[in-house]
Amino acid sequence: MNYQINLGAWGSVFAVPTALVDSHIKIATESQLKVLLYILRNSEAENSVDSISKAVSVHPDEVKNAVDFWISRGLIAKKSDALSVPAAENSESKNVMEEPVVEAKPAIKPRAVSRSQRPDPTFVARRLAENTELSQLMDEAQIALSKPLSSGDTATLVMLHDTDGLPCDVLVLLINYCVSIGKGNMRAIERMGTQWGAEEIYTLEQAEQKIIRLSRSSNAWTKVSKVFGIRNIGSPTKTQLSYADTWVNEWKFSDDMLLEAYERCVNQKGEYNIKYINGILSKWYAASIFNLDDLKQADESGSKAKKSKKNDASGLTELDDYDIMMFKNKSLYND
């Protein structure tokens, strides 16, 4: 069967940003697409949640959810109570056949963890009724967490799906990962899910790569903290994870070298200082010093260079210094 464009319908057209298809069409829900298309079509009008709700037959709560979704992705701007497309998206000529303008992809800031942004129970119930994948997600989440989900837990997962754009299969992977690292609670899941949404981790492959990176950093810190004799209380900081990942996985330092850097730090500073240790290891890495034998040679070379420099500054050689000491120790009465 062949298809043709009905040219009679092209008498009136409006622009649709390429980012909608290139980046968001896989994750956008039907309601989110309907809301965005309506706003694009009426970009010069004073669009409100109520007016959009009536026009596209979508519940106001669902309209708000869709609006938040598109605002976070830079395709909708909010002016007072009215909604419109950003100025950069408007065009005096709204002919979609024109040469598209390539625009920089807007940076997505992580959404702050806030209970007020969770959808209400009525909206959640409607979403679960209309979306079988979401409903199955709740079942799998209960199995992974080994407990029934509260209404708040369910709302959080719906929010991560609708607002942060995480597909159900990615959410299942995220939940199981949190459980595996001892963080099988909804606050930890929400915090990590929000970050994944900000990083646009929307596929299983991206999620798996993210987990590999997280696991690698965590394992590196476990090794480093054991070498340093640090007792892990709570979760490691981002700085600790970053340094450990660099030292162990990127620079490939052995336990002996890590311990040597730690001991030199404590001897010099009188305390454990992770930035000072990183400075030591950075210099060793730059000098290609990766084992204790190389370090010993470098220390000896440095010591000789310092001594030579000191003697040069005083104008004395080692022999001159020796002769002076002999003269000082010689008594005038020894003759």
Q: What pLDDT score does 91 carry?
A: 41
Structure tokens at 331: 């008594």
Please count the CA atoms within 13 angstroms of the CA of 81 that sit on its side-chain side. 5
Q: Does 58 share its domain with 85?
A: yes
Q: What pLDDT score does 310 carry?
A: 60
Q: Does 217 share its domain with 283?
A: yes
Extended strands (E) in the chain: 77-79, 82-84
Of 169, 202, 235, the domain-final residue: 202
List beta partners, residue 47.
Answer: 83
In this prediction, residue 210 has a pLDDT band, given cuts at 50, 70 and 90, of: very high
Q: Is the pLDDT of residue 154 over 90?
A: yes
Q: Is the pLDDT of residue 145 over 50?
A: yes
Domain presence at residue 99: no
Domain presence at residue 110: no
Domain presence at residue 5: no
Q: Does 133 share its domain with 157?
A: yes
Q: Nearest 5°: phi and psi at 47?
A: -80, 130
Least confident of 113-117, 187-191, 236-240, 281-285: 113-117
Between residues 84 and 240, which one has the greater pLDDT?
A: 240
In this prediction, residue 97 has a pLDDT band, given cuts at 50, 70 and 90, of: very low
Which stretch, 5-9, 53-57, 72-76, 81-85, has highest mean pLDDT?
53-57
Q: Does 161 share its domain with 232?
A: no
Domain presence at residue 58: yes
22 CB-near residues (< 8 Å, 6+ apart): none
Q: Cβ of 43: how many Cβ atoms within 10 Å?
A: 19
Of 70, 89, 108, the domain-final residue: 89
> What are 128-141's pLDDT values in tens digits?
999 999 999 999 99
Domain presence at residue 4: no
Between residues 45 and 243, which one has the greater pLDDT?
A: 243
Q: How many domains does the chain have?
A: 4
Q: Does 134 share its domain with 69?
A: no
Structure tokens at 242: 């970053």
Q: What pLDDT score does 305 carry?
A: 67
Average pLDDT of the chain?
80
Q: What pLDDT score does 127 carry?
A: 92
Q: What pLDDT score does 87 carry?
A: 56
> What are 301-323's pLDDT values in tens digits?
877 666 666 655 555 554 444 44
Report d(CA 312, CA 140) in Å as an integer: 75
115 by Cβ neighbours in 10 Å (0-12 / 13-18 / 19+) ranks as exposed
Domain that holds residue 169: 120-202
Q: Is the pLDDT of residue 112 over 70?
A: no
Question: Amino acid identity of 120?
Answer: D
**Alpha-carbon distances of 110 from 5, 88, 158, rounded to whole Å:** 41, 23, 17
Write out the H or E segment, with its range, that includes residue 35. helix 30-41
Q: Does 280 share its domain with 303?
A: no
Q: Is the pLDDT of residue 177 over 90?
A: yes
Q: What is the CATH number of the domain that holds 16?
A: 1.10.10.10
Q: Does 198 share its domain with 129?
A: yes
Q: Is the pLDDT of residue 11 over 80?
A: no
Q: Does 194 share its domain with 227?
A: no
Q: Does 270 share its domain with 313?
A: no
Domain presence at residue 224: yes
Between residues 101 and 14, which one has the greater pLDDT?
A: 14
Share above pLDDT 90 across residues of the chain, in percent, rounded to a whole number: 49
Domain presence at residue 1: no
Domain presence at residue 115: no
Q: What pLDDT score does 2 carry?
A: 58
